[in-house]
Amino acid sequence: MRRQLIALVPLGLLLFAIGFGSGLAWSQRPTPTPVTTPTFTFTPSPSPTYTNTPTSTLTATETPTPTNTPTQTKTATITLTPTITDTPTMTPTPSHTPTPTATPIIRGRVMVQANCRYGPGSAYLYEWGLFPGNRVTVLGRNQDGSWIYVDPWNYTDYCWAKTEFLELDGDISNVPQIRTLLPYTEFYWPPTNVQASRNGDQVMVAWYLVPMSLDDDRGYLIEAWLCQDGQLRFTPLHFWTSPAFLTDEPGCMEPSSARIYTAEKHGYTEWVLIPWPPHPTLEP
């Protein structure tokens, strides 16, 4: 028993030393817990709110508002009011006055059966037939008034008729002198190797014939400006073959000239200029 007591003494001392040491360590432990509370109090949101308030100092964005003042420069567009001066362009309402150029509205009645053609002369192709009693409106005339350009009331287009075959209700000298286009064809080509020679007042025109079918062949058209009685006159002539002979007198201020077409039932080719020989000068 005594031995057991003696053995427990060192064990008690050991436990005492351990308890004392742990108590001493507990008493000397750091007490940092109070430090945590101040750290939370020092992270106030005010510091970022101070940085946010400068965003309200972006009042500098008010400087773009002066860009509204340039819009006042658009008042310069009001200077476009001078475009009202364009109203004088309304003065060309007299441009309606050209309609009175047809004011001498001349109408006519066909007296005898006649051919209405593509040009002012019997040398041109047939376009429409006129019969006694047909009514027409006169639109123009040729140089001497022997042919008139008419609008037949029973036809959808215009054509040329010989004046003497119509009874007119006005003076055709009051209608304008006009020229019209010919119907064009590409089925055949123009004459080639066109030549002309003169013997006094007679001019001979020669060319190579263009091969055409019998059904299409309408010969050749020569439009000539010939000197006759001291005046240059437009003279259309039709020929079936080469050569052709034309009379061209001296005494005109302007030179004579002529051109030739191939004619077929659908229309005319492009014209070819005839190298017109000048009239020999008269020596005293």
pLDDT digits (tens, 9 = 90+) for 37-48: 444 444 444 444
pLDDT score of 82? 47
pLDDT digits (tens, 9 = 90+) for 227-252: 999 999 999 999 999 999 999 999 99
The HSE-up count of residue 119 (CA atoms within 13 Å, CB side) is 20
User: What burial class does residue 191 get, using C-beta atoms within 10 Å of its C-beta: 0-12 exposed, 13-18 middle, 19+ buried?
Assistant: buried
pLDDT score of 279? 85
Domains and CATH numbers, the chain: 101-174 (2.30.30.40), 192-273 (2.60.40.10)
Instruction: Dig out the tokens for 28 from the structure.
Output: 């000397």
pLDDT digits (tens, 9 = 90+) for 97-125: 344 444 579 999 999 999 999 999 999 99
Look at residue 84 and tell me whether its pLDDT is greater than 80. no
pLDDT digits (tens, 9 = 90+) for 148-158: 999 999 999 99
Look at residue 70 and tell me whether its pLDDT is greater than 70. no
Cα distance between residue 220 and residue 268, in whole Å? 9
Cα distance between residue 190 and residue 204, in whole Å? 18
Tell me the whole-structure pTM to 2 decimals: 0.63
Determine the average pLDDT of the residues in 49-57.
Answer: 41
Confidence of residue 195 (pLDDT cuts 50, 70, 90): very high
The answer to whether the CB of 192 falls within 8 A of the CB of 211 is: no
* φ and ψ at residue 259, rounded to 5 degrees: -145, 155
Question: How many residues does this entry show for the chain?
Answer: 284
Look at residue 93 and tell me whether its pLDDT is greater than 50. no
Query: Hunting for tokens 């609008």 — which residue is that?
Result: 151
**Contacts with 217 (C-beta within 8 Å, 6 or more apart), sequence order:** 264
Pair type for strands 244-247 and 147-152: unpaired
pLDDT digits (tens, 9 = 90+) for 13-26: 666 666 655 555 54
* φ and ψ at residue 151, rounded to 5 degrees: -110, 95
Look at residue 205 and tell me whether its pLDDT is greater than 60. yes
User: What burial class does residue 77 get, using C-beta atoms within 10 Å of its C-beta: 0-12 exposed, 13-18 middle, 19+ buried?
Assistant: exposed
Confidence of residue 12 (pLDDT cuts 50, 70, 90): low
Cα distance between residue 107 and residue 134, in whole Å? 11
- Assign 104 to helix, strand or coil: coil
- 57-61, 139-143, 176-180, 264-268: range with lowest mean pLDDT: 57-61
